[in-house]
Amino acid sequence: MNYDIYLYIAYITSRLISGKRIATLYDYSQSGYIHLSNFSDIGFLKDFDEKHKDYVPGYATGCRYQYSFDSGQSIELSINGSSFIGHIRGTSSYFLGNIRGDSIYIYNHNESEHFNYRISAHVVEHEGESIVCHNCCFLK
C-alpha cells in the first residue's frame, strides 16, 4: 500500500471541507513535518488547486467525488459536514475521517490503521501572491 495516498486524502478533504491549501502537515506517526511540495503527485495537487481556486468551504457537504492521482491510484470520496468516507479503487481499503480545526483524522477500516495530521502551514493569497502562512496572520 502506498501510504502517501493518505497525505493526498488529507489534502483533498482539507481543501473541500475547510478551504485550506496545505503546504505542510505534521504527521503524528512519524513525529515530523511533511512538505507536500516534495511529493511525486505535485502535478495532481496543482491541478486540484486550480480547479478549486474559487471554492467556498463547506460546499462539498453531501457531494461525491472521484480523483485519480499521477501515480495511477484513485479514490472515491463522499463528504458530510466535516466528516468523510471513501474507497481506494482497486483495493479493499475503505477509509473514514474528519477534520476538526487544523487536525485531520483518517482511519483505514480494512487495515485498522489511523493517520493523524495537523495542518502546520497553508498557502494564502495576499496582494496577488501565494504565501505560505504558519500563523494565519493574513486572514485576520
pLDDT for the residue 18: 80
CB 36 within 8 A of CB 23: yes
Top-ranked range on mean pLDDT: pick from 7-16, 29-38, 78-87, 128-137 = 78-87
Q: Per-residue pLDDT averaged across 47-69, rounded?
A: 66
Note the pTM of the prediction, 2 decimals. 0.78
pLDDT for the residue 103: 92
Residue 75: beta bridge partners?
A: 67, 88
In the chain, alpha helices (H): 4-18, 42-51
Contacts of 64 (CB under 8 A, 6+ apart): 76, 77, 78
Q: What is the pLDDT of residues 109-135, one digit of tens each?
A: 888 999 999 988 766 666 777 666 666
Q: What is the pLDDT of residues 18-44, one digit of tens each?
A: 877 788 889 998 889 888 777 656 666
Q: What is the pLDDT of residues 87-109, one digit of tens each?
A: 988 888 899 999 998 899 999 98
